[in-house]
Amino acid sequence: MRTVMHISWEYPPWVVGGLSQELKSILPELAKKVRTILVVRGDRDEVAEIDGMRLFKSASSIKCSPHILAYIHALNVDLVRGASTAIHEEGEVPVVHTHDWVSCLAGVYLKTCFGAPLVTSVYTTELTRSKALDSLLNMGIFDIERHCFRKSDLVVVKSHEMQVHLIEDFGLDKEKIAYARNADDLISAYRRLQG
């Protein structure tokens, strides 16, 4: 099985919300079964080992931004820089697996530039969080999510309700969606990409 590169904007000890704990509950187990690289934002560019994974931290190129969506785009450029370093050092283009809307654009860039197979995990969406697209911010986040989901080769969910939501509200095909609740489920999902 190919190496899998996970891209996230948080992973313990860099905690912003619940995503870091979600990843901490599954990635160390996955790393025991398949070569796993993790690219996250950090306080400086650095390569290290964590929980059985090769960790590539990317420092922020900007320290503040006038708007959250501008910050997200800059963050994704930083994550692509870290991922590109990993691809160069590892000598192969891995399966790319992004988590959350905040880091999913990096996966789209990597798919476009390197031809990497793209998997995106969806835990919540702007519609499930805010219940409406009633502001430019909500609509901007929704558009990022929709773009990333459509560009992904596979979208991973943990519930039937999320699958239905992605089909009805984002227009995804059922065949493009996989359930994964643990490392073994993820490995099965990755194998779908290999035919």
Nearest to 38 by CA among 3, 66, 73, 63: 3
Domain span at residue 160 reads: 4-194
Give per-residue burial for 130-148: e unless 16+ CB within 10 Å, then b.
eeebeeeebebbbebbbeb
The total number of structural domains in the chain stands at 1
Residue 64 pLDDT: 80
pLDDT in tens, 30-73: 999 999 999 999 989 999 999 999 999 999 988 788 899 999 99
pLDDT in tens, 35-47: 999 999 998 999 9
| Helix boundaries (H) for 122-195 | 126-130, 136-151, 160-170, 183-194
Report the percentage of the chain scoring pLDDT > 90.
88
Q: Across residues 78-86, what is the average pLDDT?
A: 97
Alpha carbon distance 16, 83 (integer Å): 21
Q: Across residues 85-109, what is the average pLDDT?
A: 95
The CATH number covering residue 38 comes to 3.40.50.2000
Distance of CA 103 to the CA centre of its chain: 5
Residue 122 pLDDT: 98
Residue 1 pLDDT: 76
Alpha carbon distance 94, 37 (integer Å): 9
User: Tokens 């704990």 map to which residue?
Assistant: 21
SS3 call for 5: strand
- Is residue 175 predicted with pLDDT exceeding 80? yes
Residue 49 pLDDT: 97
Q: What's this model's pTM, rounded to 2 decimal places?
A: 0.96
Instruction: Place 195 in a pLDDT band, splitting at 50, 70 and 90.
Output: low
